[in-house]
Amino acid sequence: MDLKGRDFLKLLDFTPDEIVYLIDLAAELKDKKKRGIPMDTLQGKNVALIFEKTSTRTRCAFEVAAHDLGMGTTYLDPSASQIGKKESIADTARVLSRMFEGIEYRGFEQEIVEELAEYSKVPVWNGLTNEFHPTQMLADLLTIREHFGHLKGIKLTYMGDARYNMGNSLMVACAKMGMHFTACTSEKYFPEQALVEQCREIAARTGGSITLTESVEEGTKGVDVIYTDVWVSMGEPEEIWEERIRDLSPYQVNRDVMKNAGNKAIFMHCLPAFHNLKTQIGAEVGERFALTELEVTDEVFESSQSLVFEEAENRMHTIKAVMLATVSTDGKARKKRKVQAKVDPELLEGKSLREVHYLPDNEVQWILSSEECDVDQTGEFVVMPIEDAKEKFPEIKDMLSADSDQRILYRKGRHSSKWYDFKGKA
Ligand code: CP
Ligand code: NVA
């Protein structure tokens, strides 16, 4: 498996085999670390760690993992960089690519990390966005596999705000791995319908399933994993606490929930967690609403069913696997699989497509095979491997001919999206 030069932005971009490869590699690196076997094969390389939101686990995991691999790290906190304030994402990406062999980014919208990756010449790793938290997923999957010995068929129920990074990511991770995902929460907090449908299509191929329910009794009955996250995420306004407590209190993970799941079930949480009043925010919120614990009771958090600290440790081993797999060992990031291309409409006007030079690097040059192509505007094109395209957009399967190339061109038009497949390289 070769993932050199690949970004790690969301699990949707990876095939089940690629995800398993990263989990296997993490398990191997964990074993080596425990046995004191050095793995500093990336000496002389450096990574940039951009954090526009705070972090304990993700930052420490990236730093320790990078050092274990022999790499240097530069940490940029929200006040220490020009990103977005004085310098655009595109410019930042092009600057950092000239100094580092990889860039971690934690921030707000997924679009930002996607843009950073588009302009970066080195792999970009998503350290959490509002929509996705993919490195957390690898740690969670490793933890579940270590405990149960396998992933396929495992039933995981997520309670809380299932529309945000953790709910979305767990739903995708379960779909990819053939697991059964349930979002057990008030309907208002169900994940976005489009993502649910996309995950259902993936799950249909992997043997997994996606269920959305408001019933705690049904949603947690006999499941293997009960998972929750904070009710108010980083970047959300403080005023929202009242509404969240009102809406999500019925979905608190407590003794009854764990009993309903059964004594073989495990409890997981990405952390940090509000399970007592020993934090500033926990104490403030607790006092305001006369509560002593929020999304999970202290009893469950501290119980023998809780694997939260194993999960936290696995952040480091899995992040190490992502960096080792994607940083190029020849000191030069290889061409990315996904190439964004702005196409000059004059090149395409009114007739069949001709030779098109794809930006940003002219490494990719294709002749397109489209017969009728009514390009009337500047289109934004994405080239992606055919397997990824089939997974992401199942509707294209029927239009692929036997001699379709291994890549496919997708136009994100302002009107309808249109597909073109490639035949042959220029
Ligand atoms: N789980 C997680 O991402 O933790 P941090 O916010 O501490 O990085
Ligand atoms: N949903 C949480 C996850 C923290 C790891 C947040 O975004 O703050």
Interval 169-221: pLDDT, tens? 999 999 999 999 999 999 999 999 999 999 999 999 999 999 999 999 999 99
Q: Classify residue 334 by burial, with Cβ atoms within 10 Å: 0-12, 13-18, 19+.
A: middle
**pLDDT tens, position by position, 402-412:** 555 545 555 54
Centroid of ligand 2 to alpha carbon of 339 (angstroms): 30
Q: Which atom of ligand 1 is nearest to the CA of 61?
A: 8
Q: Of the candidates 16, 308, 345, which has an alpha carbon nearest to the alpha carbon of residue 147? A: 308
DSSP classification of residue 51: E
Atom of ligand 2 nearest to the CA of 58: 5
- The ligand minimizing its distance to the Cα of 319 is 1
Mean pLDDT of 368-378: 32
Q: What is the DSSP string of 299-360?
A: HHHTSTTB-HHHHHHHHHHHHHHHHHHHS-TTSSPPPPS-EEEE--HHHHTTS---EEEPSS
Q: Which one is catalytic: 6, 68, 136, 421?
A: 136
- Which of 27-36, 161-170, 363-372 is predicted least confidently? 363-372
380: left (phi over 0), alpha (psi -120 to 50) or beta: beta
Residues near ligand 2 (Cβ within 6 A): 128, 164-166, 229-230, 233-234, 270
Q: How far is the CA of 133 from the centre of ligand 1 (A)?
A: 9
Q: Whose CA is nearest to atom 3 of ligand 1?
A: 58
Ligand 2, atom 7: nearest CA belongs to which residue?
233
Query: How close is the Cα of 380 to the center of ligand 1, in Å?
Result: 34
The one catalytic residue in 59, 133, 145, 244 is 133
Instruction: Take atom 2 of ligand 2 and give the residue whose Cα is closest.
Output: 233
Name the residue with higher pLDDT: 85 or 220.
220
Ligand 2, residue 234: give the atom nearest the CA: 8
Q: Which atom of ligand 2 is nearest to the CA of 161?
A: 1
Q: Of the residues 229, 232, 248, 311, which should be mutated to test ligand 2's pocket, given the most ligand atoms within 8 Å of the CB?
A: 229
Sheet (strand 418-425) strand order = 339-342, 380-385, 407-411, 418-425, 365-368, 355-357
Backbone angles phi, psi at 225, to 5 degrees: -130, 130
Which candidate in 174, 199, 270, 373 is catalytic?
Answer: 270
pLDDT of residue 2: 87
229 as an active site residue: the answer is yes
pTM for the model: 0.81
Residue 355's Cβ-side half-sphere holds a number of Cα atoms within 13 Å equal to 6
**Probe ligand 1: pick from 49, 58, 77, max atoms within 8 Å of CB?**
58
| The token pair that represents 198 in the structure block | 């996309």
Q: What are the backbone angles phi and psi of residue 311, rounded to the nearest 5°?
A: -60, -45
Say how far apart CA 194 and CA 215 lie, in whole Å. 22
Task: Give the chain's radius of gyration (CA, Å).
Answer: 22
Write the pLDDT tens digit of every residue in 102-113.
Answer: 999 999 999 999
pLDDT digits (tens, 9 = 90+) for 298-354: 999 999 999 999 999 999 999 999 999 999 865 434 433 333 344 444 444 333 332
